[in-house]
Amino acid sequence: MSLTKNDLLVLGLLLDRPMHGYEINQYVEAEGVTTWFNISTPAIYYSLNKLRRQGLIFEMRSQGGGAKKSVYHPTEKGREQFFTGMEETLSSEEPVRFEYDLGIFLLNKLPHDRALALLEKRMDFLQRRRARVDETLERDRATGGQPLQIAILEHAAACARMEVQWLSGIIQHLRGEEMEGGEYRGLMLLTGDLHDFHLPDLIKLIASGKHSGTLAVSDGASTRTLSFHEGRPVCATSHWPDGEVRDADRVLNDVYDLFRWQEGPFTFDQRLEPQAGCLVLNTSAEDLILAGSRWVDNWAAIQQIVPSSSTVFEHRGERSRPENLDLTEEERRVLDTLDGLRDVSAVARACDLTEFETSKILYGLSSIGLVQPGDLGKIRLRRVFREFVELMCRGTVPYRDSPDDVACEIAVNQQCTALPIRLVAGRIEDQTDPNLRTGELAEVYRTFLQTQRQVVRDRFGEEVAERLHRQVLSQVSPDLRNALERYDLV
């Protein structure tokens, strides 16, 4: 039986005297326990219930102030468990960890100025906390406070001074101030190798964080740089052993060539501004990634995003795309062909492209966030919905006044104007939001199917509607039929 730190505190306080929950909470607040230990009122009551269930304390009801209160007493088993818990705590070899260090670990992913402002805000809090702890410590010393409480406050004061000193060094470094010994050098550098980093993701990180600085990538012989201002690429250079490239087209091609690299060390330094004489860029990060993705000519890179020709892609978010995005005609065709149902092979056939050409386009579109691999559950749901609706529509042909009669289709569309789905020439046009959860999508489809079935029943009678329903069910593949039943579409 293992006690949490909260359990140990509550059980230890009950060893002094029996108390009810509110009394324990008052004691914790009055003794300033929360200045050095994080425990809340709900946590106190949670521990009381847990300790009672485990037989470490027992509950007695006492009359007080007109109402009965639950007063808790430790059991002999509870006393034994307390001493066991104390032995484990005081002899613990578990290192002290500071959750705030997570922010420092990820610090270089923030823009320099933003990181500095946040650290200065933290510093202000630490200095105020240190002042409060020092004030409390001096007061308790002067008034003859409990020795153990004073010892804890001395620990808290020492930690507060240490944190202020430590964070002060980091802030000095970010401000560019000289420091003895050069501690914390390079804290805001983002470094790595393209073997482990996906270049489009690296550029998107810089763009989304609105970073300013210079990204340099090398293969040992040449170095290419991209400079950014508030997340937008503004300048590029290319350096070879024989000197800096001056031809603008070659510099641009060398930058695009980076997207084909599978390895090469990189550094993003927020202190470095664009070099004199660099090629000025007038493009967005998205267009830069898209243009670079067109240079990718190997499956190894493409398969990071397009693992196989059976992968199904769908639009990410709204179907509308940025008007100023510089898409090629082929990219527009592929984007318009995606419906969350066709896999890469089917999209390639529909666009009269090879699977490699289609995969490369999807690699680029996905890298800039326009498309994403589809959810398998949603894909199956979309397929069975489309299959069922279109089979039902075709099944009504023998019962229509003429083969060209579309009155049934019109009636369904009129009754479903609130839904982003239409029947056009017997085919489904599905404009549902790709961000809908599977259950929400199933609800939209269920409403459309119920409307279609009711229209068929009204126009051709109950007997025909039931016959068509059974017929369509028999034509749907067993795999898709499972989706019909799972999402209660029939």
Q: Are 428 and 387 spatial neighbours (Cβ–Cβ below 8 Å)?
A: no
CA nearest 188: which of 269, 102, 100, 272?
269
Residues of the chain with pLDDT > 70, as a percent, come to 96
DSSP, collapsed to helix, strand or coil, labels residue 177 as: coil
Q: What is the pLDDT of residues 153-167, one digit of tens each?
A: 999 999 999 999 999
Name the least confident of 47-56, 309-318, 390-399.
309-318
pLDDT of residue 97: 85
299-373: CATH number: 1.10.10
Give rounded-to-5 percent helix, strand, coil for the chain: 55, 15, 30
Mean pLDDT on 420-432: 91
pLDDT of residue 57: 94
Cα–Cα distance measured from residue 260 to residue 298, given in angstroms and rounded to the nearest whole number: 8
pLDDT of residue 415: 95
In three-state form (DSSP H/G/I as H, E/B as E, the rest C), the secondary structure along 194-224 is CCCCCHHHHHHHHHHCCCCEEEEEECCCCEE
User: Which residues lie across from 19 on neighbouring strands?
Assistant: 72
CB count, 10 Å around CB of 312?
21
Q: Is the model's pLDDT at 237 over the cut of 90?
A: yes
Q: What is the pLDDT of residues 432-462, one digit of tens each?
A: 888 888 899 999 999 999 999 999 999 999 9
pLDDT of residue 63: 60
Domain boundaries, the chain: 5-90, 103-182, 190-293, 299-373, 377-486
DSSP, collapsed to helix, strand or coil, labels residue 461 as: coil
Query: Which H helix or E strand runs over 61?
Result: strand 57-64
Q: Is the model's pLDDT at 59 over the cut of 60?
A: yes
**DSSP result, 357-397:** HHHHHHHHHHHTTSEEEPPHHHHHHHHHHHHHHHHHHHHTG
The mean of the pLDDT values for the chain is: 90
pLDDT of residue 88: 92
The single-letter code of the amino acid at 278 is C
CA nearest 171: which of 98, 107, 102?
107
pLDDT of residue 85: 93
Cα–Cα distance measured from residue 364 to residue 256, given in angstroms and rounded to the nearest whole number: 13
> Is 299-373 in the same CATH topology as 5-90?
yes
Q: What is the pLDDT of residues 319-378, one digit of tens each?
A: 555 667 889 999 999 999 998 889 999 999 999 999 999 999 999 999 999 999 988 888
5-90: CATH number: 1.10.10.10
Name the least confident of 40-54, 136-150, 176-190.
176-190
Q: What is the pLDDT of residues 268-297, one digit of tens each?
A: 999 889 988 899 999 999 999 999 999 998
Quick one: CA dihedral 337, 339, 342, 343, positive or negative? positive
Q: What is the pLDDT of residues 96-137, one digit of tens each?
A: 888 899 999 999 999 999 999 999 999 999 999 999 999 989
Quick one: CA dihedral 17, 18, 19, 25, positive or negative? positive
